[in-house]
Structure 1
Amino acid sequence: MAFSTRIEVRGYELDALGHVNHAVYHLYAEVARTKAFVAAGCDLDLLTQRRTAPVLLTTTVNFRRELRAGDEVDVSCAAKFGDGKTFTLEQMLTKMDGTLSAEVYCVLGMMDLEARRLHADPRAVLESGGFDLAKMNG
């Protein structure tokens, strides 16, 4: 089972229609991504000291069902690596009754902060910082 964290919708995150503002879904996904990397053993401070960091390249959100004030949502995070300079994260925002509220799909890379280029093997860079894919993806 993929990493998951629970977030409660707060009133100030709502738009004029009374449901969560579209931009807040990105924030929820970011909270889960950061927690997932830490839960997978990734030492983000160590990577920064090595002058490398994860960089978000694209994000796509598919809105399925609205979230309203007081709702709780579990935000999952699962990583998939291939052969290129990028990797993907799939994140599902699921309400307590099992209703899928949103799907978030991200493409990330590991940036060399001095060269301002992506590393050729992002998984190896993450693993050098303690990242264990099995801990994130379950």
Structure 2
Amino acid sequence: MTEREPFRTRIKVRHYELDTLGHLNHAVYHSYGEVSRLELLEQAGALRSLEGFAAVLLESHIVFRRELRAGDEVDVTCDVKFGSGKTFSMDSNIVKVDGTLAAEITCTLGLMDLERRKLVADPRGRLEAAGADLRLMSTSEG
């Protein structure tokens, strides 16, 4: 059995995203991770099927590996890992098209009941019940 690849989104670094040193501003790396997370949730059907619920970011950590400059194209991966509690992780790698790892982002999220303003006890189960494509969301799913 071969290992599946995580979801990917391609992004081109734009000039206005650069800092005074001429490389991608540190905050934009986080934005790229958010783009990939939202694209994955949308393509998996989680955004439209979760009426009354929303994924909320609880923690984010980034490790910068290589600089990115204007015109660089990157693939931003996103892979969900569910545990047994109220939280789950959505981890991303920002990789130049030549294969160079530019950054690693690890995020902890929860699924919030927007009426109660509380995290649901079983986010994986709620996503599955809503018809989200868990296999697209996570390389560790069946």
Amino acid aligned to 1:40: A
How far apart, in 2, do the equivalents of 1:41 and 1:52 lie?
Answer: 13
Q: How is 1:78-117 mapped onto 2 (pairs within 5 angstroms)?
A: 78-117=79-118
Q: Once superposed, what is the RMSD of the aligned Cα atoms?
A: 1.1
Q: How is 1:1-138 mapped onto 2 (pairs within 5 angstroms)?
A: 1-42=5-46, 44-47=47-50, 49=51, 51-138=52-139
Structure 2, unpaired ranges of 5+: none
Percent sequence identity is: 58
How far apart, in 1, do the equivalents of 2:26 and 2:128 lie?
Answer: 33
Task: Report the Cα offset of residue 137 of structure 1.
Answer: 3.0
Asked whether the equivalents of residues 63 and 103 of structure 2 are also in contact (C-alpha less than 8 Å), the reply is yes
Q: TM-score, normalised by structure 2?
A: 0.90
Aligned residues: 135
SS state of the match for residue 60, structure 2? strand
How far apart, in 1, do the equivalents of 2:81 and 2:138 lie?
Answer: 9
SS state of the match for residue 95, structure 2? strand
Task: Report the Cα offset of residue 124 of structure 1.
Answer: 1.2
CA deviation vs aligned residue, 1:87-132 (integer Å, no higher than 9, x gap): 0011000001110000000000000112111000001111222212
SS state of the match for residue 101, structure 1? strand
Task: Report the Cα offset of residue 41 of structure 1.
Answer: 2.7
Amino acid aligned to 2:116: A
Q: TM-score, normalised by structure 1?
A: 0.93
